[in-house]
Structures are given as C-alpha cells and as structure tokens.
Amino acid sequence: MPKRPVKAEDLLRVQFVGDPQIHPEGNLILFSKKHITEKNAYLTHLFTVDRAGTVKQWTQGEKSAAGGRWSPDGKQILFSSGREGEKGQLYLLSVDGGEAQALTKLEEGSIGEYIWSPDGKHIAFTFRPAMPTETKEAKEDRKAKGLSEPPVELDSIWYRLDGDGYFAGQRHALWIVNTETGKAELIYNADAMGFYSFDWMPNSDELVVCHSANKMAMVGKPDDKLFLVSKKGRAKAIPGLPIGSKGNPKVSPDGKWVAYLGSRAEDDPWGTSNTHLFVVPLEGGEPRCLTEAYDYDMSVSVLTDTKDAGGGGTISWSPDGKSIYVTIGWHGEIQLAKVDVSSGKLEFLTEGRHWLAVSDLSADGKIMAAAYGNATTLPEIAFVDIKPKKAECSVVTSFNSAYHDKITTQEPEEVWLESTDGVKVQAWVIKPVGFKSKAKYPAVLEIHGGPHAQYGWAYFHEFQVLAAEGYVVVYSNPRGSKGYGQDYCAAIKGAWGDKDWDDVQTVTRYMQHHPNIHPGQMGVMGGSYGGYMTNWVVGHTKDFKAAITDRCVSNLVSMSGNSDFAVNKDEYFGGCAWGDLDRIAELWKQSPIAYFESVTTPMLIIHSVGDLRCNIEQSEQVFTALQMQGIESRFVRYPVTTSHGMSRIGPPDLRLHRLGEITSWWKKHLQP
C-alpha cells in the first residue's frame, strides 16, 4: 500500500516514549509511554521491554503513572501518580504481580525528583506543598461561603514558573520515606529557589545535595554548593568549592568522590558557557574539571515537537570508578561518550545522525537503556551495549511503526554555509513531498528558540507537515546555538540581533539562490527566541513575503520584569530596565519592537495567555504596532491553561488548531 503525506492530525497517532531505566541485571528496560486519548488528553503508563522486544505494561487506568524507577534489587518499581485526585503520591509495584500500593500520604502538592537508597530501605524525594489557598478543600470552602478568589501575597521575586504555575512562597524541600512503613519526613529545606539535585552515598546514611547557596539566587551570581545531608537532616557543606553553576551530583562507587556537571563562570545566568564534567573529593578541595581540554557541552538536547524539551546531562560512573559516561550535543547530534577519571581523556562511543537519552549503567557496567531517534524516525527504546571502544544501540520497540508504515517522511539534507568572520553555519533542507528537481517551490525558514539550544537530527512533526503542504523547509543553528563550542554560543551574549542576524541573513541568501526555492515566496517563523528573531527579521528586511511569530520576545525592556526568570541588572544583556537611560538603551537597541516602523510584512502572531516565560504582552505590542500601521496581521491567543511549551505539550486539540493556523497563513501568503 503506497504511503501518504503526513497530516497535522497524525500527531494524534504518535506514541511518545521516554525516561528509559535499565534493570540492575541489564535484561529489562523500564520506560514511560504517552499517547493522546479520545478525550483530548495525554495518558502516560509504565512498560518494560526485553532483548527480544517483548513489551509488558505495568500500570493501567485513566490516571497517568510516570517516572518509573527500579529498586536496587530489581524486585520493585517506584513511580508517581495522581490516582488519588488532587494528591499525587509515590507508589510501589512488585514485579511478582499484584496492585500498586501507595507508599506516601502527602498533602496536596508537587513531587519532584526521587531516588532509591542503595540498600532499598528509603527513598529521597523533593516535595512542595500546594499554596494553602489553592487546595481543593480551600476552594470548596470559598465556594460554599460565596467568597471571592483570594489575593496572592508575595515576598519574593521567585513565585512562578512556566509550566508549573504560581506557587508564591512555597518551595520544594528534601524528604525521605521509609519503604517498609511509609513514614515520610522532611529532612532538609535550604529555601533558596527550591531547586535540588541529589544522590545517595553508598552507605545509604547520607545524601550529597546540590543547591544554590545564595538566598537571592535570582539576583546574585551563580553559587551552587554541595552538602552532605544525613537522614536526620544534619548538613555540612563540602568545603573548597568555587562560585559557579553545579548540578546532577553522582557519588563514586567507593564513596570518595562526587562528580557533577557545571561551570566556573560567575556571570553566565543563561548558560552560554560550556557545561563541563567535574570531580571533587567528598572531604572537599578544589574540583578538577575532567573535560576542560574539550570544547563540548555536557547538557545539550535537540529541539523537536515529538519529545519533551528538557535537556539536562547524564553522569554514570563505571562500577570500578575509573570512567564516567556522559552525553554530548554536537552538530545537531546527541552522542554517548566515556571520560577517563584519572587522565580526563574523552572518547565518543557512538556516532551517527541521531540523538540519545540514556540511563544509568546496569550493575555490571555493560549495558545502558536509551530513548533513540533521528530525523526520520520517532523515538523508540533501545539497549546500549558498552564495548571498550564503542557502544552498540539495538532498538527493541516499534510503537511508531504503524505511523511510519503509512506516512511519507522527508529526509533532511545537511548544508554548511559560510557566514561572516569565516564562521560556518550548519543548516538543513527538507524538500516537499512529490519534489521535482526542475520545479521551484515556496519555502519556510524556521528559527529555533533558546537561543542557547540546537536543532538537529530529530523528527519534527511540524516540519514534516509543512513539507507535505508543498514547502521547502529550511532550519539552521545560527550563532548563539549550542553544539559548536563555547565561543560560537557566547557570540550573542548581550548582543542579540548581531552575529545571529548575520547568520540568519546567510541562510536567507542561500534560500534566495537555491534552485528549487522561489525567492518571492519565502516565509519566516519561529517560537520564543525564534519569535524574537522573526520579529527582528521583519524589522530589518523585506525578503520574506509573510511571517509567523510564536510566543515571542519583542521588547526586552518590558520582558526583563515580567518573565518568570527576570533579567538581572547589568548581567547577561549588560543593561537594565530601571535606572539611567543608558542602561535602558542597551535593552532597547536589542528589542525588535524598536524597529517596527520599518515593518511591512504580514504577520500571524501566536501566544498563550498562560505563558509565564515570555509574557503575552510581548505579542500584544507586536499586534498593536502592526495594526496601528495598517499592516495585515492576525493574533491567535491560546487560553491561560496553556503555557510557553504549548506546541510540544499543550492540549492536543489546541496543538492541532495552532498547526491549522500556520498552514492556513502560509497557504494564503506563499502559495502561487
């Protein structure tokens, strides 16, 4: 049966797999699989798969279960679920069968990360209680009494997070729960921002906990520290650590060292510096950077709309403590690498045009679990066999085979373009379905968000939909992107609209001279920082016939005070939204709205009212400027229940509506 072009509605058929966890014996992989239900909702459940590809489902029902973790002996599965209505809990499920049992009896709130102790007797986890005024009981009481919705009372700038909502003064803190009795205890609360990463010591009596030591973490310089915290809550700082960002601590098998991912940079709140691998003795001292000789970043993901956007790095010690396994983002790929602890020598163990998200090692150090994908294949689950000089990936699930068996997927073509200063820019071209070599087609330039992120070798549903609609799709990683070394990434620090704009112009010229692109039928679009750059493009050139700006940034002066992560004074941008005019001018000259008197390009504007990262007022300013000048524009506002990540994790019907708006806009303006 011949394959057909992809449709926007095919999003409903995608099976989203992730969070792979290797069984201690290396024979099974535990993972989450999410799908879209007939009730317009996402439903996640836990599955395992063995070497032969035999899949077993472990959780059922209409309430999701996620975050599955093997017990140290491999006999139980720990997971989180909101099966009890408003109160999410931790559950235990025996691999011998039977129903899952609630381990915790927490009040309403948010469960964060959780880790088994090596002896299996305790689980450490983070928990944040709900705002007292926002519990189910409080809401019902107000309704019964006819009372108004109460005010939110704030004493700290850290009171909200996109995708998480408003939490006012509530913070995550560190808890432990006894796996036999279910008794849960708060053991550590350093306040700060409630961001903790942690790992157990081998003796199961203490944890290594990483968090900011700065009580004004959003204002001061990055100053993450490591602390040894006992099960009774006694804490002591590991001495000798410098200022800088740190996270993801992992204790060595012998309990003498802790590895972490971080940077020594003191003025880099947006992560333009490479994230490196460090080790430090548990008794303290100057950390040793194992990857200092390499211009790689250890915490880069690949952007796509068929997996969660989260990046984060991987640290996994070999059982003998001589090596550490990490993942590295480079040139649009995510690869597995091994670092020798004594020498710092780094070796890539995988290669190819793909991305990987891996777990810890099996007990014998020979096997990892991975989510695996590439530009033409939706993610699946794979075993990763570790060999001395390489690792072999064996994909063992086929949840999306039915999708690929029926749908045509266009493979991207890679190009490298010469930009200013002798810089090479990596770009990709997806040709339309039914492509003819002598024909010219309308084209769409996609610009990624971040800006310190990367496009790459990952399946992008939106791109495939546009190719099916008859467009050449072009996307690239201009300066500011990750995956090309620290200087490349930091080239736009405090200078948006400069070197990144040089590179976007380079890609634009490439499109104009491409033998299969009609230069008079080109559109430009992007989300978040990609929306910023789309706004910048239309204020500086007339090369594009139409544009789409999505969850954009338009005015850095106003955004600096209304984003969940406020822009700090004289830091990343070297300016400030309050104080003297010179500081304000630094932000204003990098604001696309400052150049909107020059805009003539018709624009579709997309934004979520519930976006706490880039406030909707950023798009309101764009729409007002265009309407006041009589420029064709359309503003689509998604409800307060959606967030900045609406195109990836938003309600399915609204994701489809968004794709419909995009394809309709391009059909109106780019089709001959």
Catalytic residue among 122, 514, 644, 669: 644
Determine, yes or no, domain membership for 118: no
Mean pLDDT of 640-657: 96
Determine, yes or no, domain membership for 156: no
- Rounded to 10 degrees, the C-alpha dihedral 392/396/400/406 comes to 90
At 394-421, the pLDDT tens digits run: 999 999 999 999 999 999 999 999 999 9
Q: Which structural domain, as residue segments, surrounds residue 645?
A: 410-555+591-670
Determine, yes or no, domain membership for 337: no
Tell whether the model's pLDDT for residue 533 goes beyond 70. yes
Could you give the 3-state DSSP secondary structure of residue 513?
coil
Determine, yes or no, domain membership for 439: yes
Total domains in the chain come to 1
Tell whether the model's pLDDT for residue 309 goes beyond 90. no
Helix 529-540 vs helix 499-512: angle between axes, to the nearest 10 degrees? Answer: 70
Cβ within 8 Å of residue 509, ≥6 positions away: none
Percent of the chain with pLDDT over 90: 91
Q: Is 554 noted as a catalytic residue in this protein?
A: no
Determine, yes or no, domain membership for 217: no
User: In angstroms, how far apart are the furthest CA atoms of the chain?
Assistant: 73
The Cα–Cα gap between 555 and 561 comes to 11
Q: Which pLDDT does position 310 carry in this prediction?
A: 56
Percent of the chain with pLDDT over 70: 99
Determine, yes or no, domain membership for 375: no
Query: What single-letter DSSP state applies at residue 384?
Result: E
> Residue 604's domain is classified under what CATH number?
3.40.50.1820
pLDDT category at 270 given cuts 50, 70, 90 is confident
Q: Is 452 noted as a catalytic residue in this protein?
A: no
At 618-632, the pLDDT tens digits run: 999 999 999 999 999
H or E segment and range at residue 29: strand 28-36
With 0-12 CB in 10 A as exposed, 13-18 as middle and 19+ as buried, what is 417?
middle
Token output for 139: 């809401």
Q: For the beta carbon of residue 438, count every other beta carbon within 10 angstroms.
A: 6
Contact 391, 350 (CB under 8 A): yes
The Cα–Cα gap between 312 and 298 comes to 8
Determine, yes or no, domain membership for 630: yes
At 546-582, the pLDDT tens digits run: 999 999 999 999 999 999 988 877 688 888 888 889 8
What DSSP line would sit under 418-440, residue for residue?
A: E-GGG-EEEEEEEPPTT--TT--
Catalytic residue among 299, 528, 563, 591: 528
Tell whether the model's pLDDT for residue 583 goes beyond 80. yes
Helix 652-670 vs helix 461-468: angle between axes, to the nearest 10 degrees? Answer: 40
At 447-497, the pLDDT tens digits run: 999 999 999 999 999 999 999 999 999 999 999 999 999 999 999 999 999
Poorest-pLDDT segment among 65-69, 122-126, 219-223, 537-541: 219-223
β-strand partners of 555: none
Question: How much is the mean pLDDT over the chain?
Answer: 95
Determine, yes or no, domain membership for 345: no
Q: Which pLDDT does position 97 carry in this prediction?
A: 87
What DSSP line would sit under 539-602, residue for residue?
A: HH----SEEEEES----HHHHHHHSSSPPPTTSSSS--SSSSHHHHHHHHTT-GGGGGGG--S-
Q: Which pLDDT does position 311 carry in this prediction?
A: 58
Mean pLDDT of 87-96: 95
Q: Which pLDDT does position 574 carry in this prediction?
A: 83
